[in-house]
């Protein structure tokens, strides 16, 4: 396991704060109320470990397949439905939505190889990520991948806790399947908009792994 670069600064500051809190606690409380000082240490250490684990990148065998659309994120499948596209596309598409809790790995990966046909950031609200309107009203970043004349759209969507979406892709860029496309801090959601003829291989409630689980084939 490694730590994502987006976490370096946050972890560094958190470690400093952890140290300062416990130095003060030890100095003022350890002799008079050692139980309180110990509790402060345990709680702050737990929070620091959680923060470090949030930015983890586990070692995995990633899926590279020409006919596969792989999960762009870890999480839970909360929606699979036919929708009228509201951005870039003018037709109907199959939407697969993956909800990412704060406990999930938050690296986002390219679902296919190809060209980046579209990359657009949108300011917005911070509704809870599983809210139906979060896909169109929340802060989000939309990417469209093009391969052999077919296109796949992904949306990185901020949630109630996610206050920063990071995306590394630009229109015109060539990308490879499973490489990093971005990162979302804390709870959030990623939507996939797929062609109607794509064969969906996941169902509601499944827990795909980003870059590993095949969501659909085409």
Q: Which residue has the tokens 């994502």?
A: 4
pLDDT score, position 60: 92
Q: Is the pLDDT of residue 212 over 70?
A: yes
Averaged pLDDT, 128-147: 75
The answer to whether residue 120 sits within a structural domain is yes
Q: Is the pLDDT of residue 139 over 90?
A: no
Q: Are residues 93 and 180 in the same domain?
A: yes
> Dihedral through CA 159, CA 89, CA 81, CA 123, nearest 10?
10
Q: Are residues 75 and 48 in the same domain?
A: no
Which of 44-48, 50-54, 89-93, 180-184 has the lowest average pLDDT? 50-54
Report field, pTM of the whole predicted structure over 0.85: no
Q: Is the pLDDT of residue 162 over 80?
A: no
Count of domains forming the chain: 2
Cβ atoms within 10 A of the Cβ of 177, count?
Answer: 21
Q: Is the pLDDT of residue 135 over 70?
A: no
Q: Are residues 49 and 75 in the same domain?
A: no
Which H or E run contains 110?
Answer: none
Q: Which domain holds residue 8?
A: 2-57
Instruction: Please report which confidence band the pLDDT of residue 211 belongs to, taking 50, 70 and 90 as the band edges.
Output: very high
Q: Establish whether 188 is a catalytic residue.
A: yes
Q: Is the pLDDT of residue 171 over 70?
A: yes
β 76-84/92-100 pair status: antiparallel
Q: Is the pLDDT of residue 29 over 80?
A: yes
Across the chain, mean pLDDT equals 89
């Amino acid at each position: 396991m490694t730590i994502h670069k987006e976490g370096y600064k946050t972890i560094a500051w958190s470690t400093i704060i952890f140290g300062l809190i416990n130095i003060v606690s030890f100095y003022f409380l350890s002799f008079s109320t050692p139980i309180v000082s110990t509790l402060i240490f345990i709680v702050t250490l737990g929070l620091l470990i959680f923060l470090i684990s949030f930015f983890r990148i586990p070692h995995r065998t990633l899926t590279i397949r020409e006919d596969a659309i792989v999960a762009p994120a870890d999480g839970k499948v909360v929606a699979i439905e036919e929708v009228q596209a509201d951005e870039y596309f003018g037709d109907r598409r199959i939407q697969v939505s993956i909800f990412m809790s704060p406990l999930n790995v938050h690296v986002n990966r390219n679902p296919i190889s190809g060209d980046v046909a579209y990359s657009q950031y949108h300011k917005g609200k911070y509704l809870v990520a599983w809210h139906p309107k979060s896909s169109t009203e929340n802060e989000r970043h939309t990417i469209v991948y093009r391969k052999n004349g077919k296109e796949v759209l992904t949306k990185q969507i901020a949630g109630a806790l996610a206050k920063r979406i990071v995306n590394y892709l630009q229109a015109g860029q060539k990308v490879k399947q499973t490489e990093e496309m971005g990162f979302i801090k804390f709870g959030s959601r990623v939507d996939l908009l797929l062609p109607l003829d794509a064969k969906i291989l996941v169902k509601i409630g499944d827990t795909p792994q980003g870059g590993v689980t095949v969501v659909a084939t085409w």
